[in-house]
Each structure stands twice: as C-alpha cells, then as structure tokens.
Amino acid sequence: MVDDAHKPTAFAAVILAAGKGTRMKSDLHKVLHPIGGRPMLDHLLDSFADLSPARLVVVAGDRREQLEEALADRDIDVVLQEPQLGTGHAALQAKEALAGFEGYVLVCFGDCPMVRGETMRRLTDALDDVVKVAVLGFRPADPLAYGRIIADGEGRVSKMVEYKDASEEERACDLCNSGVIVAHSDDLWRLLDRVGNDNAQGEYYLPDVATIAIDDGDTVKVVETEPQEVAGINSRAELAAAEAQWQEYKREEAMENGATLRAPETVFFSYDTQIGRDVTIEPNVVFGPGVTIADGATIRAFSHLEGARVGEGCEVGPYARLRPGAVMEARSKVGNFVEMKKATLGEGAKANHLTYLGDATVGAGANIGAGTITCNYDGYFKYRTVIGERAFIGSNSALVAPVTIGRDAIVAAGSSVTRDVADGELRIERAEQLVKPGWADRFHQTMKKKKADKS
C-alpha cells in the first residue's frame, strides 16, 4: 500500500451515453429524461462535483446533438462512438479527448444517475500500487441477467463474466457488476487496447479490462454498494421507479432537516427545492423547480409551487398555485384558488381566495378580496399593477393595468379600476344600481300564468 500523499490527485470521468435508448420510445435522449425536474445526466454530474474532476468526457452516439446542446455551457468534452460496438469500445473513444491526462479515470453510465460521489471516492481509494483496477459491485434481490463478479472475502476479483457467457455455477453468484470501473489512465488505455470481441454478442466489453488485468497477474478489487444506487434506467417504468426512489430520499431529507410532512408519500419535490425548519406541508403538494420555503411556513393541501419564494411564517393554500416570480414576504397569506405570477405579496398582506395576481406588487398589510384579478395582458404586452400598503381591494374587483392603488385606499366591491387611485381614496367604478319595487312580483305572476295557460 502507498500512502495518500503518493496517490495521483488528478481525476477524470468518462460517462457512456451512446446507447439508442429504444425502450424509452422517445425523441429525447435517454439521459436527458428528468428525475426531480432535472435531466438524469445532471444528477450524475452533480455526484462528481465533490471529487473535483480535472476532466469530464461524455461518449455519445444517437442524438449526439442533444447532448452537445445540453452541455454547451460546461467544460465537458462530447465524443462520438460510431458504430456502437460495446461498452469497451465506447470507453476507448474518450482516449483522444484525454490525451496527455495522467491520473485516475473512472468510467460510468449516463443512465445510472444515482451513484453518489462518496461511492465513487471509495472506488478510487481502492486503487494503489497493487490494485490496478477497481470495479463497483452490488447484490440485488434478483440477479437477473447482470454480469457476475467472482471474488474472495477480501474483495479480490478472480473473474468477471457476462451473464450470457457465464456457467451455471457462475450465474449462481449473487455479486453483480454495475459496469462502473476505475483505473489509472496508463493502465486503462493499455488494457482497453487489448479488449477483444470473442463473445456471444461479438462486442467489446468494458469488464474485460479487469479480466485482462487479472490474467496479467495484477490485482483487481471490487467495492460493493446498494443495488438502488446503481440501478440503470432503460424504460419509462424504470424512470418512474427512479423518480419514486429519488422522491423518497428528498422527503426523508426534508423531515430530517425539521419539516413536517403530513402525508410524505403525496408530496413531490424538485431537485432544487429548499425547505426551512418548522415548515408544515400538507398532503398532495407539488414543488416545481426554483422554490424556496422559509422557516415556519405552512403549505396546505393540493397546492402547486414553481419558481416561487415563500417567506417566514407564510401560509399557502389549500389549492393555491404559485408560478415563476411569485414572492410572498413574511407572514403573508394566499388561500384557496389563488394564483400568483411575477407578483410580490408584501409582509402580512393576504389574498384569501379566488384571486389572480399577475405582474403585481402588493404592499404590506393589504387585503385582496375574493374574486379580484389584475388584468395584466392586452394580447400583446404585459403591464404592472401596484397596490399600496394597507390598501383594501373589495371582492370581485378588476384592476386594469397599468394602474396604481395608493396606500390605505379602498376599492369598492365589483369595481373595474382603470385609473390610478390616490392614497386614502375610496374608488367606486360600477354602474349605478337601479331599484324597481314590485317588479319581480309582477314578473313571477305573469310567467306563472303563461305557463299555466300553456299546459
């Protein structure tokens, strides 16, 4: 063994994503399908972040242009595997992109997004002057058709074999190959160059890197992890299973950090959802991307939030919708069937029910009555509504933007406001009410008589 000071510090990752993904039946590249609102490839790239890789290479094939577009703003090389001749051949396509690089090279799969950085670190830490190759293994409840790893109690591998080429005795082994492998660059390229395709599929298998190393008398070691961490995603059903697994993790994380989930299995998070302490989330709440919930807030049942910031002690819902740009300042409240978009609800302000606030700023302590809407769109452009502090907007009011309602102003129920309202002013914008005593009685009598005559 060598000490850590003599281990190479440089680290590179090669992500294989050249498969056609035919079982997904989609025009979207398989590794760009989302989990928690984010492409599975991005989840995998996040796992590498803690390892600070010096280089990242993605091996693409079908729909290469989609991957290039998705990774355009990152320092990641995208190389082409054409034709697709197996995983060993795919890994070899990264050799030119990593020319001149010296250090550890880890090869993994873009459709296995749950592998954690900690696990990758354990795998690279297994290498030393004696151990030339390290592979990641797992023990599933049903080994199915996974490739097998034959190893002793110390994790030293004596053989790796694909299921199609395995004997019945080898298939009885429950230690399976995830496909994730790491070796020093000097060793990896040397071994990959020697991989052949004399097998049932006629392909160049990546695990043969380990087999060749063993035949050379070098030591190969297996590091084990949990099956769910290396689960591949090749179909819509497997994508749904991965989503369920990821959501379960996020729910547990939220509760561990001090949030109360009344019915955890009905709450759905996004990859970037931030939940504070003492937050209460009722059943059937969905968080889209870009949501931050401050301490002490309550999100009531059947609410949908996306691109929204909810302040300390706020209350949302039930049946509320916060769209991108919605901001609720401390102790503000939106109730049932309230929708906000590009709108700020000031501290302590409230819109308790049946309201649309779009392109609006609502001052602290203002009250928005039921049925109020900000008319912000004329079919071509959006306009802004500004409502001052402590203003009172009566029920069923239409505020036609651009318009400003002053502080402490009152808009009478049923008004359509098209001009600014001054501070402290009462504005009534509705037709004068007509009163006709006895008219309804005479109407009923006349209609009843007509109905009787007709029958």
Integer Cα distance of 64 and 25 in angstroms:
17
If one counts every other C-beta atom within 10 angstroms of the C-beta of residue 320, the result is 28
Task: Let me know if residue 276 belongs to a domain.
Answer: yes
The per-residue pLDDT for range 106-151, each reduced to its tens digit, is 999 999 999 999 999 999 999 998 999 999 999 999 888 889 999 9
Let me know whether 376 and 421 are in one domain.
yes
Let me know whether 277 and 422 are in one domain.
yes
Task: Let me know if residue 443 belongs to a domain.
Answer: no
CATH number for the domain spanning 173: value is 3.90.550.10
Let me know whether 128 and 167 are in one domain.
yes
Integer Cα distance of 223 and 230 in angstroms:
12
Are 181 and 209 in contact by the 8 Å Cβ rule? The answer is yes
If one counts every other C-beta atom within 10 angstroms of the C-beta of residue 170, the result is 17
Catalytic positions: 353
pLDDT at residue 221, rounded to an integer:
97
Task: Let me know if residue 221 belongs to a domain.
Answer: yes
Q: Please name the amino acid found at residue 252.
A: E
Give the domain-ending residue among 189, 215, 230. 230
Task: Let me know if residue 202 belongs to a domain.
Answer: yes
pLDDT at residue 9, rounded to an integer:
65
pLDDT at residue 199, rounded to an integer:
75
What pairing do the DSSP bridges indicate for beta strands 280-281 and 298-299?
A: parallel
Q: Give 3-state DSSP helix, strand, coil % of the chain, rounded to 5.
A: 25, 30, 45
pLDDT at residue 165, rounded to an integer:
84
Integer Cα distance of 98 and 91 in angstroms:
11
Let me know whether 226 and 252 are in one domain.
no
Residue 202 gets the label, from left (phi > 0), alpha (psi -120 to 50) or beta, of left
Give the domain-ending residue among 210, 230, 250. 230
Q: Please name the amino acid found at residue 387.
A: I
pLDDT at residue 200, rounded to an integer:
73
Integer Cα distance of 3 and 310 in angstroms:
49
CATH number for the domain spanning 315: value is 2.160.10.10
Let me know whether 168 and 309 are in one domain.
no
Let me know whether 137 and 159 are in one domain.
yes
Give the domain-ending residue among 230, 258, 289. 230
Are 292 and 311 in contact by the 8 Å Cβ rule? The answer is no
Paired strand residues for 293: 275, 310
Let me know whether 318 and 355 are in one domain.
yes
Residues lower than pLDDT 70 in the chain: 1-9
| Residues with Cβ within 8 Å of residue 50, at least 6 apart in sequence | 117, 118, 121
Let me know whether 196 and 305 are in one domain.
no
Let me know whether 217 and 283 are in one domain.
no
Integer Cα distance of 453 and 181 in angstroms:
92
Task: Let me know if residue 452 belongs to a domain.
Answer: no
Task: Let me know if residue 254 belongs to a domain.
Answer: yes
pLDDT at residue 7, rounded to an integer:
52
Write the DSSP symbol of residue 22: G
Task: Let me know if residue 136 belongs to a domain.
Answer: yes
Let me know whether 205 and 295 are in one domain.
no
Let me know whether 283 and 197 are in one domain.
no
pLDDT at residue 2, rounded to an integer:
40
What domain count does the chain have?
A: 2
Task: Let me know if residue 75 belongs to a domain.
Answer: yes
pLDDT at residue 202, rounded to an integer:
83
Tokens of 448: 């009843």
User: Which residues constitute the domain of residue 168?
Assistant: 4-230
Let me know whether 143 and 203 are in one domain.
yes
